[in-house]
Structure 1
Amino acid sequence: MRYLFSLFIIYMFSACLKNEVTLDYSGIQPVVLIPNANWPPKGFASPAMDSVAGTTRLNLFARVSYEKPLTKNVLVKFTLDNALVDAYNTQWGTSYQMLPASCYQVASLEVSIPAGSQQAVIPITVLPGQMDPQHDYILPFTMASAGGQTVSANFKSFVFTIKGQ
């Protein structure tokens, strides 16, 4: 009996081979994203509260998430995403309105991430004097394309909120 038990133990320990895990990242492609994307909310996130009150400049970022900068320019195009207004209000039980175009200035919703760099920014100038202080506003953007690169599915939208007085 002891002999069978010994054989069983030897068999069990010899069956456990320790394989080395080799990670192969060679097939990974660059992904373009908004590094501080806040929509859709992840986990137990709370609504963006008064994220730009008193601010006159907003920054909309685009970043290449990859091990190193790319060797070519990447043209990133954003869109003003009206659907996010309803989605945000439904999610948080709020009644934000789209910020009127007369309340902000942006030269273009396109930005080029230069070769050798991993990030670019679109500056947006907010004009507080043009806003009705009785309303809460939202300015939602979604990355539409990235010059042939993959756009992140869950880091492609950003919602700026502005609370009235």
Structure 2
Amino acid sequence: MKKFLYVVAAAGLTASLSSCLNDDEHYVDFKNVGAIAEIPSSAFYGIEDARSYLQVAAATDSFDVNIASPNMPSQNTDVTVAIDPAALTAYNTQNGTNYQILPASLYKLLTPTVTVRAGTRLAPVAFQLNTTTLKFTDNYAVPFVLKSATNGVTVSSNYGTKIIAIKLRNNYEGTYQATGQFVHPTAGTRAINRSKTLNSIDANTSQTEYADLGGSGFLMWLRVNADNTVTIIPRGSTPTTVQTGTNSYNPATRTFTLSYQYAGAGGNRVITETIRRVN
């Protein structure tokens, strides 16, 4: 009896799916959809592309334009790109942000027209930035907009805008591997072996996780002094911290060596860790 019911259910499901697939009202023949020029990581969902740069006179960067189509493009397509302040105004209004457009003297669109070659889908849009006069507290962005495309390709109305937020980064920003130990006065010693990210605060200061307690809101700023000693500044929920032993930065190996502690019930929690850059 159960076997019979399974057969009936499967048959019904097959009929239902067949009916849906052939329902003219809801059927979409994707073979007849035209080609669309788009920016894969567009600003449509209210997400800007935050990128960080060192203070340099000419930082060259890029993003991709994509030709979306049922079949691989069989001919070259030229796509025109522009920087449009109105797009940034609209983005700010829609998302509650307050980005200012980067002054025109500080950016250059190197490829206002890009060619997506036949047999491919992507082409890079290149631009150049001058970040020498920027400050770490600036809130600049550059709004890129697809304007037109050749050979009957339609520019996407939803995915044709890209907002790139321009932030400064210092020489210490990046991904690191932390190793060491956390000595608890009553719970004993546990190993620290985890990936950490350092984010820029200013030219000499970066923020990262405190010991292995980032999940508890414990953060710290690491300030590299002129003699490569390091000052630890508690942030977030981190309690008062006392530096002990060696706290320094080695620029040759891009490694922080830290020794610090904080007080708690039962005694001090003592942390020693080495944070080495991996990218």
Bin of the TM-score, shorter chain as denominator length: 0.7 to 0.9
Residue 163 of structure 2 is aligned to residue 159 of structure 1: yes
Q: Distance in 1 between matches of 2:39 and 2:106?
A: 23
The correspondence for 1:121, drawn from 120, 124, 135, is 124
Q: Hey, what does 1:28 align to over in structure 2? A: 33
Greater relative contact order structure (CA < 8 Å, 6+ sep): 1
d(CA) in 1 for partners of 2:64, 2:84: 16
* Code of the aligned partner of 1:48: E
Q: Which residue of 2 aligns with 1:90?
A: 93
Looking at secondary structure, tell me which structure has more strand per residue.
2
Distance in 2, Cα, partners of 1:130 & 1:108: 24
CA contact (8 A) 1:89 1:96 kept: yes
TM-score where L is the length of structure 2: 0.46
8 A Cα contact 2:33 2:70, kept in partner: no
Structure 1 residue runs of 5 or longer lacking an equivalent are: 1-16
Name the SS for the 1:18 alignment partner: helix
Aligned: 1:135 with 2:132 = no
Asked if the contact 1:97–1:138 (Cα under 8 Å) also holds between the matched residues in 2, the reply is yes
TM-score (norm 1): 0.73
* Identical aligned residues as a percent: 26
Q: Tell me, yes or no, if the aligned pair for 1:103 and 1:131 is still in contact at 8 Å.
A: no
Q: Once superposed, what is the RMSD of the aligned Cα atoms?
A: 2.6
Runs of 4+ in 1 over 6 A off after TM superposition: none
> Structure 2 CA distance, aligned partners of 1:70 and 1:152?
16
**How many Å separate the matches in 2 of 1:94 and 1:26?**
39
Q: How does 1:1-165 map to 2 (within 5 A)?
A: 18=15, 20=18, 21-22=21-22, 24-37=29-42, 39-41=43-45, 47-48=47-48, 51-54=50-53, 56-147=59-150, 148-163=152-167
Contact 2:111 2:127 in 1 (8 A): no
C-alpha displacement of 1:118: 0.7
Separation of aligned partners in 1, 2:31 and 2:97: 45
Matches of 1:40 and 1:132, distance apart in 2: 28
Number of equivalences: 144
The alpha-carbon distance between structure 1 residues 126 and 116, as it changes in their structure 2 partners (threshold 3 A), is same
Contact 1:99-1:137 at 8 Å conserved across structures = yes
Question: Please, which runs of 5 or more residues in structure 2 have no aligned partner?
Answer: 1-13, 169-201, 203-279
Amino acid at match of 2:48: A
